[in-house]
Structure 1
Amino acid sequence: MTKKKIGILGASGYTGSDAVRLLARHPNAEITALTANTHAGKTMSEVFPHFFMLDLPRLVEWEKVDWTRLDAVFCGLPHGTTQEIIAAVLKANPGIKILDMSADFRLRDEDSYAQWYGHEHRAFELQGEAVYGLTELYREKITAARLVACPGCYPTAVLLALVPLAKAKLIDVDDIIIDAKSGVTGAGRGLKQNTLFSEAGEGLSPYSIGSHRHSAEIEQEIGVAAGSAVTVNFTPHLIPMARGEFCTSYVKLNGATPDDLRAELEKAYANEPFAHVTKKGVLPQTQNVRGSNYVQIGVVADRIKNRAIVLSTLDNLVKGSAGQAIQNMNLMFGLPETTGLEQIALFP
């Protein structure tokens, strides 16, 4: 197969740079355009020195890219800045494939988007064709899509752990508590006081309590699985490590046992290349998936009667972002889903 010509919007961010890292060794991809308006004119290795060995195009403003020459574009821009740019890219090249790693097309309801993101959607005419890019749940739709809205990192970990259980009605979807922790790359590369080493290191801090925007994605997709509106209790934390994510979900059982939950998850992911359910007594750990596209899920009985604890972990920049986007790109181009993504976790 001729290599697909790939562009990356927002290549100077963490998700954009991890897309570069993975695509640089993808046998069917050729990176031909990289944008970063604030770093325009620089080489990628000036922004990320670990790319010193790669022959990559220089960073340019997005307006200067000839989109008609590209087969696919990955978007690593912040939410709110993506919608109009993607609309312009699709106008220039209606046949291009869009892998959006921002939040701009994840929510199907226009009012919900405005509520959670503080402004009206600026390209809602495209929302109807956007497919929510959680690969294990929407594989067939992704394969036929032009615009894929790749999920957030927290929703990916939580939904892979809970959607099969909600669909099978093994848990009470009105009683879900999610305690989530992410490495500081989840907060982006911009200068923020709370992510300075002296403030984030050697400590654990909650943020966006009761109001984190990923709650909307989690509720949307669990609601689809359950067939009813859902509200979850979701609290995220920043943990002092660069990458990685761990979600602990506390659930009430619907006449099931923790072993039933594990069996349902094993059935759901029996043929999945990247979703792994641990054996009874084996606990997921962030170091088991660091740098890889794998997600690890475990189930433990709570000592409180009729409750269980579902654990899930992934690398927030890979399966939680760029890796899952590439997994979806592979589907969209009819490639083996695992192409370019079979890296083993980096341990220790």
Structure 2
Amino acid sequence: MRVSVLGATGYAGAELLRILYNHPHADVVHITSESHTGEPIAALYPHLRGRYDLTLESMKDIERIGADSDFVFIGLPHGHAMAVGKALANMPTRIIDLGADFRFDDTETYEAWYHVPHTYKDAPRVYGLAELHRGEIKNAKIIGNAGCFTTASILALAPLAAAHLIDPQTIIVDAKSGVTGAGRGPKLGNHFPELYDNFRAYNACHHRHTPEIEQEVGRLLGEQTIINFTPHLVPMGRGILATCYATLKGNATPELVDAAFERQYGKEFFIRLLGRNGYPSTKEVRGSNFCDIAWHIDERTHRVIVLSAIDNLVKGAAGQAVQNFNIACGFPEKTALDVVPMYP
């Protein structure tokens, strides 16, 4: 398959190139960057030296790039993928967007949280979280790759929601991310003296991944769901640990909770269940497409606490995009992703 990466100089774009290099059925033919047009990718990311000799192009001629590609991966900030989708609407080219433009069923929700107008409201899109939407992803024209915080949180909550074991109005997600989740652009809060030896929350009550979690968990529950989501920034390069809380319904027992996770994920290669009372950690999934999940039951408060760990750049971005690509193309889902996590 001939594939192109728009926005190849972001962390997710570079991670895509790293993974796709080892994909036996993907040939990267175009990479773009508006700020580094004309430069070789290895000049910006020396770890790709000797592996890619491609020069960064402008995406101003997106029709030409699209016509030369079977798939286009979009690694651009929100607000840019809609124009690409419209430009390629009448071509057979398929799209996997790592941004937020095609993640929502309701474009009004997107507009309310992202504060930009949605210019492609009738886009034929599917939510790109493979473990929940595999059948729809297979034939989708546009796949809206799930976000990083959302992947960790939705996968943690999905078995409980699908089994109707939790009260949908009691869900709290407390998640921590490495600094690569904030992108490659320089920001004061990511400056080494500000970040090192520090740990802080941000965007409490207003983080844009909140409605994405609500959409998918609500879909499984069959009713509208409102959650509290608070993200935190951790002084590490990559990784997410999500701690999700919910009140169990009256009939929910520890055994029913255990069975729900086994039923949902027992045959999923990229979900590793640590079981009741386990403790996932970010280092144990680093550089991989795995999501490690464990759960605890507080019988005193009748709450369940689910812990999930992912690499935000792999299962939370580029790896998940390649997993969706494999499904869409009919390749084995593990292709280019069956790697052991890096440790320590």
TM interval, short-chain normalised: over 0.9
Give the Cα separation in 1 of the matches to 2:256 and 2:285.
Answer: 25
Letter in 1 for 2:108: D
Letter in 2 for 1:191: P
Unmatched 5+ residue regions in structure 2? none
1:288 aligned partner: 284
Aligned residues: 341
Could you tell me which of 10, 17, 22 is aligned with 2:19? 22
TM-score under structure 1 length normalisation: 0.95
Contact 1:154 1:214 in 2 (8 A): yes
Give the Cα separation in 1 of the matches to 2:255 and 2:307.
Answer: 14
Are positions 1:66 and 2:61 aligned together? no
Taking only the aligned residue pairs, the percentage that are identical comes to: 42
Q: Secondary structure of 1:122's partner?
A: coil
2:8 aligned partner: 11
The Cα shift of 1:157 comes to 0.7
2:295 aligned partner: 299
Give the Cα separation in 2 of the matches to 1:55 and 1:317.
Answer: 20
Could you tell me which of 132, 136, 142 is aligned with 1:141? 136
Contact 2:179 2:238 in 1 (8 A): yes
Contact 1:257 1:306 in 2 (8 A): no
Give the Cα separation in 1 of the matches to 2:140 and 2:113.
Answer: 25
Give the Cα separation in 2 of the matches to 1:190 and 1:294.
Answer: 27
Query: CA-to-partner distance for each residue in 1:277-301, whole Å, 9 max, x for gaps?
Result: 1133331111110000000010012
Q: Secondary structure of 1:148's partner?
A: strand
Are positions 1:339 and 2:338 aligned together? no
Letter in 1 for 2:133: Y
Query: CA-to-partner distance for each residue in 1:212-262, whole Å, 9 max, x for gaps?
Result: 010010001111111111100100011011100000011111121344223
1:240 aligned partner: 235
Query: CA-to-partner distance for each residue in 1:95-115, whole Å, 9 max, x for gaps?
Result: 111110000011111211111
Deviates more, 1:260-269 or 1:282-291: 260-269
Q: Secondary structure of 1:161's partner?
A: helix
Contact 1:32 1:56 in 2 (8 A): no
TM-score under structure 2 length normalisation: 0.97
The Cα shift of 1:82 comes to 1.8
The Cα shift of 1:303 comes to 5.8
Contact 1:6 1:31 in 2 (8 A): yes
1:108 aligned partner: 105
Are positions 1:154 and 2:149 aligned together? yes
Q: Secondary structure of 2:336's partner?
A: coil
Q: Secondary structure of 2:292's partner?
A: strand
Q: Secondary structure of 1:234's partner?
A: strand
Runs of 4+ that moved beyond 3 A = none
Letter in 2 for 1:117: Y
1:312 aligned partner: 308
The Cα shift of 1:124 comes to 1.3
Give the Cα separation in 1 of the matches to 2:318 and 2:298.
Answer: 34
Change (3 A) 1:79 1:205: same
Are positions 1:34 and 2:28 aligned together? no
Give the Cα separation in 2 of the matches to 1:151 and 1:80.
Answer: 16
1:130 aligned partner: 125
The Cα shift of 1:89 comes to 3.1
Give the Cα separation in 2 of the matches to 1:86 and 1:110.
Answer: 15
